[in-house]
């Protein structure tokens, strides 16, 4: 049973429920299927069961067979039973409102299982698909109404009896904290309630389902005949073996499921906090700070917001792209600078623009594997401090040409030997995205950023940066570039990369910037044990790759994979964050994935806010966390040079 709605977050994830409930279904089948067969055969017997006839009723054709063959004869329909039981336990223990409907969906498997147990001649020698062909799918849905009538109340009674026991006997407000013994006692109460409620209709259902395929006897007729010919006691036929099998197996499987679900949920990944520095213009207000210094500000702020002491962090991942001259192990510099102990390891990640997001994904994997409980992940970049490069070997005579490390290591396609903007032009042509559409998107990005800042929507995610100067300290707490668009002139700017008929301009491209971002992540076990209050949960993530020249559309490949990993569909997503390396990236995503613009980058994107390349992958996750409302799901996706992308799905708590 899930914790109360006001418990702060969902400790029992969908994945945990599936694993815990499915495992309990397999275990239940292996232990109890033979006794279930006995119960079904007794319920199907219309005569008086004497001691002398029990052998034939229970073992049928194997009545005179050796003992081991008798035992094996109690496992008919095991394949149908396996498919039915595992799926049944997953949905039944996953949420009681669906149990009646779910039982009907699986009814064919249950019908065939019962026929194999009680009337094997009707099934023998025919495969599942042959049975559907011969008898029609409708014949396998006989008794569906009685099935719903039997199972829905029984399931509610199971959950209700268990919940009442935990709530009033054990005084538990959070059921996921129940011990194995408490789950066992609560399951007994739930099983007794469930069996009591469902017993009469179970006999009717079984008699409908064990008949020959073409039998037209209705449930009402069966009830009438039972009352007239067998009496009211007939509604409780097989009750003793049913109590012996249904009671213990229900207690067994439900106790196991309720104990396993929280166990599997311990490795869910939660976001405790999400912070970023303001984004500075190149050679602007943050130019005097190195990438690690910016990273330190973001990480400190994130830890403070999470209520986590630096010594509690077990490992750090930080993205950083242009590392020439930054110093050894930039992530390690951040960890030590943020007060995290020397004993805590740190790793720097370089997946170009997706570095910050890849850091979150790698940290999540460590938590999901049970290797870590609390981690910091993020990204950082000082494009202002990117040095110019000269090769160590030099000509004997003459001049040398310096290379801009910002271009060489960050903004140049090494496969096609041209700037990344040329890839954007290729995407615009390939997907018929016009200059006007890109400029419209550009204006929308700046307008949304201005409105968001004016409304104070960025305030909660900003980690103010103190910049020391000759005239004293300056506190920077606002992005620089979003106010710089000349709205009356930007549509007349010349193309930046393809001069003739080009569509990509300095305005509808992202800017060069400085900044950092960070999130604090924790496992479900840590969140529960330390009573922390996460702001979001990571549901899934994925990477995807394509031809280097097509990198702007790589997010459209990563997003479906991330949604599949998260177990959600596109319609479930309330907000989308696509990193705007160029306006064409977001335009292509909207076009390919058929997304409404009103849900994409609602607070502006990198075209307006800026694109410190090592940070942006984490920055869009930070912004998404703060933009979503409680209960909403969102996707953040970012392309990266070389032809790839990363995407992540989160839920706001």
Rounded Cα distance between 558 and 548, Å, is 15
Q: What are phi and psi of 404, to 5 degrees?
A: -80, 115
> Which CATH number does 269-389+397-652 carry?
3.40.47.10
pTM: 0.71
Token pair 């409930």 is at which residue?
Answer: 21
CA angle, 600 then 604 then 605, to 5° = 85
Active site residue ranges: 353, 639
pLDDT reported for residue 521 = 99
Percent of the chain that is helix, strand, coil (3-state, to 5): 55, 15, 30
pLDDT reported for residue 60 = 81
C-alpha closest to that of 274 among 378, 189, 159? 378
Residue 526 CA, chain-centre distance (Å), reads 19
C-alpha closest to that of 195 among 257, 244, 148? 244
Residue 515 CA, chain-centre distance (Å), reads 28
Residue 555 CA, chain-centre distance (Å), reads 18
pLDDT reported for residue 332 = 99
CB-based contact 197:153 (threshold 8 Å): yes
Rounded Cα distance between 256 and 279, Å, is 51
- What element of type H or E holds 319? strand 315-319
CB-based contact 115:210 (threshold 8 Å): yes
CB-based contact 326:313 (threshold 8 Å): no
C-alpha closest to that of 430 among 552, 555, 516, 532? 552
* Domain range list for the chain: 14-265, 269-389+397-652
User: First-to-last CA distance in the chain?
Assistant: 19
Mean pLDDT by 10 residues, the chain (653 residues): 36 60 69 74 71 80 84 72 59 48 53 64 67 64 58 74 88 79 88 78 68 62 79 69 68 74 78 99 98 99 98 98 98 98 98 99 95 97 97 86 95 97 98 98 98 98 96 96 94 96 97 99 92 96 98 99 96 98 98 98 98 99 99 98 98 98
Cβ within 8 Å of residue 143, ≥6 positions away: 107, 111, 204, 205, 208, 209, 219
pLDDT reported for residue 97 = 42
Rounded Cα distance between 422 and 496, Å, is 9
Residue 545 forms beta bridges with which residues? 644
C-alpha closest to that of 650 among 13, 2, 1, 100? 13
Cβ within 8 Å of residue 31, ≥6 positions away: 249, 252
CATH 1.50.40.10, domain 14-265, yes or no: yes
């Amino acid at each position: 049973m899930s914790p109360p709605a006001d418990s702060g977050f969902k400790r029992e994830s969908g994945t945990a429920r599936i694993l815990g409930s499915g495992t309990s279904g397999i275990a239940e089948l292996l232990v109890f299927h033979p006794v279930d067969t006995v119960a079904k055969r007794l319920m199907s017997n219309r005569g008086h069961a004497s001691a002398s006839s029990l052998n034939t009723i229970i073992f049928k054709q194997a009545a005179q067979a050796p003992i081991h063959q008798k035992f094996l004869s109690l496992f008919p329909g095991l394949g149908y039973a396996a498919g039915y039981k595992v799926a049944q336990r997953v949905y039944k223990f996953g949420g009681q409102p669906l149990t009646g409907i779910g039982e009907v969906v699986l009814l064919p498997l249950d019908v065939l299982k019962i026929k194999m147990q009680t009337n094997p001649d009707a099934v023998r020698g025919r495969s599942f698909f042959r049975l559907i062909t011969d008898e029609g799918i409708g014949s396998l849905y006989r008794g569906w109404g009685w099935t719903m009538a039997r199972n829905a109340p029984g399931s509610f009674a199971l959950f209700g009896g268990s919940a009442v026991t935990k709530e009033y006997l054990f005084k538990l407000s959070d059921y996921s904290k129940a011990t194995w013994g408490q789950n066992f006692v609560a399951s007994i109460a739930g099983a007794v309630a469930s069996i009591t409620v469902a017993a009469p209709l179970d006999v009717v259902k079984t008699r409908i389902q064990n008949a020959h395929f073409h039998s037209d006897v209705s449930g009402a007729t069966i009830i009438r005949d039972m009352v007239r010919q067998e009496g009211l006691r007939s509604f409780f036929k097989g009750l003793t073996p049913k109590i012996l099998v249904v009671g213990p197996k229900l207690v067994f499987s439900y106790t196991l499921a309720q104990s396993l679900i929280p166990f599997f949920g311990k490795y869910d990944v939660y976001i405790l906090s999400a912070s970023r520095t303001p984004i500075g213009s190149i050679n602007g207000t943050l130019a005097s700070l190195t990438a690690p210094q910016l990273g330190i500000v973001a990480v400190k702020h994130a830890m403070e917001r999470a209520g986590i002491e630096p010594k509690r962090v077990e490992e750090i991942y930080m993205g950083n792209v242009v590392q020439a001259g930054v110093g050894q192990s930039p992530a390690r510099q951040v960890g030590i600078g943020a007060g995290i102990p020397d004993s805590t390891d740190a790793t720097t990640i370089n997946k170009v623009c997706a570095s910050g997001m890849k850091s979150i994904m790698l940290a999540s994997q460590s938590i999901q594997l049970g290797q870590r409980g609390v981690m910091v992940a993020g990204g950082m970049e000082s494009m202002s401090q990117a040095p110019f490069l000269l090769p160590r070997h030099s000509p004997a005579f003459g001049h040398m040409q310096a290379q801009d490390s910002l271009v060489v290591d960050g903004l140049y396609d090494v496969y096609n030997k041209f700037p990344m903007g040329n890839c954007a032009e290729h995407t615009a042509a390939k997907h018929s995205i016009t200059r006007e559409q890109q400029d419209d998107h550009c204006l929308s990005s700046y307008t949304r950023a201005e409105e968001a800042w004016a409304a104070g929507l960025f305030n909660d995610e900003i980690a103010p940066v103190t910049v020391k100067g000759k005239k004293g300290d300056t506190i920077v707490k606002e992005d620089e570039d979003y106010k710089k668009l000349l709205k009356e002139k930007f549509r007349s700017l010349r193309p930046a990369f393809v001069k003739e008929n080009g569509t990509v301009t300095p305005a509808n491209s992202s800017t060069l910037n400085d900044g950092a971002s960070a999130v604090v992540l924790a496992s479900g076990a840590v969140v529960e044990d330390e009573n922390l209050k996460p702001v979001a949960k990571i549901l899934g993530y994925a990477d995807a790759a394509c031809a280097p020249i097509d990198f702007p559309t790589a997010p459209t490949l990563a997003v479906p994979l991330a949604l599949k990993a998260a177990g959600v569909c596109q319609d479930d997503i309330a907000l989308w964050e696509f990193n705007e390396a160029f306006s064409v990236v977001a335009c292509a995503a909207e076009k390919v994935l058929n997304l409404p613009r009103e849900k994409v980058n609602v607070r502006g994107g990198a075209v307006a806010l800026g694109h410190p390349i090592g940070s942006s992958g984490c920055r869009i996750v930070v912004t998404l966390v703060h933009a979503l409302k409680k209960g909403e799901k969102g996707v953040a996706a970012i392309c990266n040079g070389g032809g790839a992308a990363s995407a992540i799905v989160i839920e706001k708590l």
